[in-house]
């Protein structure tokens, strides 16, 4: 523990602090957005004092997968913007998000600059994963340029109209690896999905209860197997978005066992819900790709979250409205897959993780902050340590909540919510982004968020 040379500008006092190496009763001093002191209770003094008595003081959460103000297939965009969505994230403890540069024709650099300008309205810090939909000489050069700009992690779709075919996936991994980036994938094998959907159709209608069988786990497994093969060939790290269950995760573990650097996230909805949701009257809400899987898969994912073999728990937030989803109420093939979840991610992870005895506080901090910061090269984020960014949440474990779609306080920003009605406890008293209070009394965070230049390796 270090005593401050000079008096910090503010101190978080009286909390139970989860530092990078330790856990206990400490005061945390902050100056100019950085942590400058961690000392025994009462030893750090400052003009501004945040009362953390009864609270856990931990690094803010990192959500590595959001689609804020996202272009929808039906036209228009999701019903939020970077200002409102990140304010909701901050209100529930998240202090950094990684969103995307939508894939498109033309200059990817221009697309990235446009998206960075939009993201400038954020309340918390942010970076972006560029989506790559095609490869050519220009794209290859742009990938290297994006990495030098600090946009170092990418996303490629293996299905949908914007997908890359096998030969391009292999080429992309080689190009990204040579440039020092982290190639990432929405991994569902397109040909096998086409086959599974055809089989589903021969046995009945494409109604919501039959959605999961149209996208079985083996399609994820096959896609990941292909990707990790190329990762091994080019000695490249790879990232797998939204791992839904044990078919996918088992393939990742197999690849790791032979030395491939596979990093992967799951999402809050795969941890909170199981596939019985599709049998419900409002089963349409849960049409998300890949689908939510069985209770057995859910248990396996929780184990991987606890032991840190997954790298993050993301929201995959996409702010559809009920009207956007309604086209597919009777036919899942007509529905835009996805759900809002940027605010609920962290309280759900806490409630179903720590409160349910599945995670210790340390394991929660690892999966929610430390590991994602390391995975994506987010520099001084993800830990409470002298010199680190003061991205800190003062978390009241006793504060109870009932997630209610109609309440502004608990909203993910839409008029429907897959967590509606769930009750739990644990929420922020304060959220600080580089020392600035972005949630709590005396909030002063609008437009405070800054771009984080990633340094993957």
Please tell me the distance from the alpha carbon of residue 396 to that of residue 453, in angstroms, as a whole number: 31
Q: Least distance to Zn ion from the beta carbon of 4, Å?
A: 42
Q: Least distance to Zn ion from the beta carbon of 275, Å?
A: 19
Query: Residue with the closest Cβ to Zn ion?
Result: 316
316 versus 324: smaller Cβ distance to Zn ion? 316
336 versus 389: smaller Cβ distance to Zn ion? 336
The answer to whether 56 and 15 are in contact (CB under 8 A) is yes
129 versus 370: smaller Cβ distance to Zn ion? 129
Read out DSSP for 227-270? Answer: HHHHHHHTT--EEE----SHHHHHHHHHHHHTT--EEEEEEHHH
Please tell me the distance from the alpha carbon of residue 309 to that of residue 159, in angstroms, as a whole number: 26
Please tell me the distance from the alpha carbon of residue 140 to that of residue 308, in angstroms, as a whole number: 33
If phi > 0 it is left, if psi is from -120 to 50 it is alpha, else beta; for residue 23 that is beta
Residue 350: in which H helix or E strand, if any?
none
185 versus 211: smaller Cβ distance to Zn ion? 185
Q: Least distance to Zn ion from the beta carbon of 317, Å?
A: 8
Q: Least distance to Zn ion from the beta carbon of 100, Å?
A: 8
Residue span 286-325 as binding mask against Zn ion, x where in contact by CB under 5 A, dash where not: ------------------------------x---------
160 versus 329: smaller Cβ distance to Zn ion? 160
188 versus 316: smaller Cβ distance to Zn ion? 316
Alpha helices in 28-107 (DSSP H): 82-91
Record the tokens describing residue 206, joined without a space.
């494409």
The answer to whether 79 and 311 are in contact (CB under 8 A) is no
Please tell me the number of Cα atoms within 13 Å of 127 on its side-chain side. 23
Count of residues interacting with Zn ion (CB under 5 A): 1
Q: Least distance to Zn ion from the beta carbon of 65, Å?
A: 5
Residue 144: in which H helix or E strand, if any?
helix 137-148
- Supply φ then ψ for residue 134, to 5 degrees: -155, 160
Q: Least distance to Zn ion from the beta carbon of 63, Å?
A: 11
Interface ranges with Zn ion (CB under 5 A)? 316
């Amino acid at each position: 523990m270090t005593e401050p040379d000079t008096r910090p500008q503010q101190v978080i006092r009286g909390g139970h602090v989860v530092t990078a190496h330790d856990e206990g009763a400490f005061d945390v001093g902050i100056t100019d957005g950085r942590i400058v002191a961690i000392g025994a209770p009462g030893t750090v003094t400052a003009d501004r004092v945040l009362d953390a008595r009864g609270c856990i003081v931990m690094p803010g959460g990192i959500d590595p997968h959001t689609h804020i103000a996202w272009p929808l297939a039906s036209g228009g965009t999701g019903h939020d913007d970077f200002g409102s969505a990140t304010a909701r994230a901050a209100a529930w403890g998240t202090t950094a998000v990684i969103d995307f540069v939508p894939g498109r024709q033309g200059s990817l650099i221009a697309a990235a600059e446009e998206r960075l300008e939009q993201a400038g309205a954020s309340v918390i810090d942010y970076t972006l994963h560029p989506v790559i939909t095609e490869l050519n000489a220009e794209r290859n050069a742009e990938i290297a340029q994006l990495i030098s700009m600090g946009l170092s992690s990418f996303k490629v779709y293996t299905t949908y109209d914007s997908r890359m075919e096998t030969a391009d996936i292999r080429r992309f991994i080689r190009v990204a690896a040579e440039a020092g980036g982290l190639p990432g994938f929405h991994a569902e094998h397109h040909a096998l999905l086409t086959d599974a959907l055809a089989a589903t159709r021969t046995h009945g209608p494409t109604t919501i209860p039959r959605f999961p069988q149209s996208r079985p786990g083996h399609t994820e497994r096959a896609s990941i197997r292909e990707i990790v093969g190329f990762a091994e060939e080019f000695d490249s790290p790879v990232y797998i978005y939204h791992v839904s269950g044990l078919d996918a995760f088992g393939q990742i573990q197999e690849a790791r066992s032979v030395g491939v650097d596979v990093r992967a996230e799951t999402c809050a909805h795969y941890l909170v819900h199981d596939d019985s949701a599709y049998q419900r009257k409002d089963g349409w809400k849960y049409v998300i790709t890949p689908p939510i899987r069985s209770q057995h898969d859910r248990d396996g994912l929780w184990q991987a979250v606890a032991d840190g073999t997954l790298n993050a728990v993301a929201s995959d937030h996409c702010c559809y409205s009920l009207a956007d989803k309604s086209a597919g109420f009777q036919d899942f093939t007509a529905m835009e897959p996805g759900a809002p979840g940027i605010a609920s991610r962290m309280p759900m992870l806490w409630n179903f993780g720590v409160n349910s005895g599945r995670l210790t506080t340390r394991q929660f901090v690892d999966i929610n902050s430390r590991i994602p910061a390391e995975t994506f090269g987010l520099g001084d984020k993800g830990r409470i340590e002298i010199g680190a960014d003061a991205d800190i949440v003062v978390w009241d474990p006793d504060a109870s909540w009932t997630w209610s779609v109609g309440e502004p306080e608990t909203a993910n920003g839409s008029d429907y919510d897959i967590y509606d009605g769930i009750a739990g406890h644990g929420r922020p008293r304060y959220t600080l982004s580089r020392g600035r209070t972005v949630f709590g009394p005396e909030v002063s965070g609008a437009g405070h968020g800054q771009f984080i230049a990633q340094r993957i390796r």
